[in-house]
Structure 1
Amino acid sequence: MKSIIVASDLSNRSRAALTRSVTLAASLGARLQIVHVVDGAMPTETAAKVKQDAETELSEQVKDDAKGRILDHKISVLIGDPIEEINAIVQNSDADLLVVGIHRRRVFMDQIRETTMEHLVRSSRLPVLLVVRDAEQDYAHVLGGVDLSSICAGALRKAYQIAPNAKWTLFHAHEVSFRQEAERDYATWKALSDLPPNLPAPVFVETSASDAVHDLMEKGDYDLLAIGAYTRSNIGRYVLGGFTSSLVRRPPCDLLVAP
């Protein structure tokens, strides 16, 4: 992994994302671009002052998180619409990963429209890492969803780059009474997919993907969940599947979603 982008709104949620990004960039030797977008609706003089303050605060946060480690990084504070500016940076960069914090929950608004994080995950050409927990150490235990798609294989490859030394658990949720077919299809998919080495065989569970994640999270101490974006054709570019959307809204741990 050569380059990482992290988007920060200077909230506590984004603070965890920045810490994780610094840890990843330092351990992987990757370049890090920290992006903050000041609301373009502010008066010009106010926006300029907020921009200056944000640059100072982000510089101090990076210094604190680096803890003396050499870090190749750049701080970009822009003025405009956050989603538009972040998407533009992603589209025009050679980055390998976009890191963000979880969204601020709003009980009413979340019921009637897509959240900012759902929009970023849906529209990003990059895998997106949503950071839930404050942690400075490397990932220790990864849970990976297996849906036998090329997107899923990409998610596992990216997660392996992020957590090469972690313990892994894979799961495949299938319909009741289709265990043999599921195992056969998995064997074929594994042979055709360029998967990371030494991944364990998946746990086959006769339930929905959502219930499988819930049950496995209760039984294991996972700090990273990796899934594909599970998309389908629709009006516009595409929409996230319900399983992915529910996880983006309420991730049980740090969540990696590959497009």
Structure 2
Amino acid sequence: MRNNPRLLLATDLSARCDRALDRAMLLSRQLSGSLVAAHVVENRIVNANLSGDEEIRAAILDDFPELAGIERLVIAHGSVPSTIAGLADELHCDLIITGVARYNNLGDFIVGTAVDHLVRQARVPVLVVKRRARHDYQRLLVATDFSSCSRHALEEAAILFPTAPIRLVHAYHVPYESWLKSEGVREEIYAETEKELHDFLAGSNIGTLEGRLETRPVYGELETVVAQQLRETRSDLLVLGTHGKSGFAYATVGSHAADLLASMPCDILMIRETHR
């Protein structure tokens, strides 16, 4: 990601998007970047009280005066995911910031279909904001399966947040565990996993990570391991990598990616390995 990045806030401007708006404004200051806000009007939705884009713009600024200080407010029409992804390319944005579809006090986050599709279609990283933006991100948790896309996610996150401590976690299993109960087998698998982790890091451009990267192979199911590591580290940002060709369905955490995006309680940064 370049210096002084351009950030794109994708918002429906409802109350549930306040968190994404606050995080976008905080992040633009933290990164010394510029901020563009985009509101997409679905083609099938017609508001009889608003006859054109300028009236929509005026109504938005009346409700959200904070947006008057951003670089640009874009009113667009079409399918939300594809339009936002297209705007990110057209406006040369480096990061898309959006919110979740619904949040309740029980901690149940539900990512809407539009967010899922946006992650699939966007060629730049997508930050899904769930928590209130009370401060800069303090600690990052990066999940890895030792793929090139998870390496790219680690490197990009390290550049984007150059001072935050990072824990790199890999969830592993013992094959045929119900049959192989030997403690020696588990120790052997752990040693192999540690070697894979060492080799993974040896192939990374991690010069900027010295002194702030901690690695942790952890036995268990991915979702359980990630949740436990978030609690243990008190990380406020989870970073996942996705493949450029396969898209969101084949993220670095495989078919579990959608589950993680929906269930984890913190903000999630999806970084796609692709060439612009």
**Structure 1 pair 90/6, CA: closer, same or farther in 2 (3 Å)?**
same
RMSD (Å) for aligned C-alpha atoms: 2.8
Aligned residue in 1 for 2:193: 182
CA distance in 2, matches of 1:16, 1:207: 32
Deviations 1:126-162 (A, max 9, x none): 1111111111411111111122122112222232233
CA pair 128-118 structure 1, distance change in 2 beyond 3 A: same
1:57 maps to 63
Q: Is the 8 A contact 2:227 2:264 kept in 1?
A: no
Match of 2:50 among 39, 46, 60: 46
**1:99 matched to which residue of 2?**
97
In the TM superposition, what is the alpha-carbon distance from 1:250 to its structure 2 partner? 2.6
Paired with 1:144 and 1:190, the residues of 2 have a C-alpha distance of: 13
Partner of 2:136: 138
The aligned residue for residue 89 of structure 1 is 87
- SS of corresponding position for 1:37: strand
Unaligned 5+ runs, structure 2: 104-108, 175-185
Identity of aligned residues (%): 26
* Secondary structure of 1:139's aligned partner: coil
Give the distance between the partners of 1:197 and 1:154, measured in 2 at CA: 14
* In structure 2, C-alpha distance between the alignment counterparts of 1:134 and 1:114, rounded to whole Å: 19
Range 48-57 or range 16-25, more displaced: 48-57
Cα pair distance change 1:247/1:11, threshold 3 Å = farther
Instruction: Give deviations 1:99-144, integer Å, cap 9, x for gaps.
Output: 1101237xxxx99x97211111111111111111111411111111
Letter in 2 for 1:36: H
Corresponding position: 1:203 with 2:206? no
Larger radius of gyration: 2
CA distance in 1, matches of 2:221, 2:249: 20
Contact 2:100–2:112 under 8 Å retained in 1: no
Q: TM-score, normalised by structure 1?
A: 0.83
- Structure 1 position 224 matched with structure 2 position 237: yes
Following the alignment from structure 1 to structure 2, what is the Cα–Cα distance between the partners of residues 21 and 120?
17
In the aligned structure 1, how far is the partner of 2:38 from the partner of 2:213? 37
Asked if 2 retains the 8 angstrom alpha-carbon contact of 1:3 and 1:32, the reply is: yes
Cα 1:84/1:55, change in 2 over 3 Å = farther
Report the residue type matching 1:197 in the other structure: L
Partner of 1:214: 227
Counterpart contact for 1:146–1:202, Cα < 8 Å: no
Aligned residues: 244
Whole-angstrom distance in 2 between the partners of 1:231 and 1:88:
16
Residue aligning to 1:167: 165
Runs of 5+ unmatched residues, structure 1? 64-70
C-alpha contact (below 8 Å) 2:8/2:95 kept by paired residues: yes
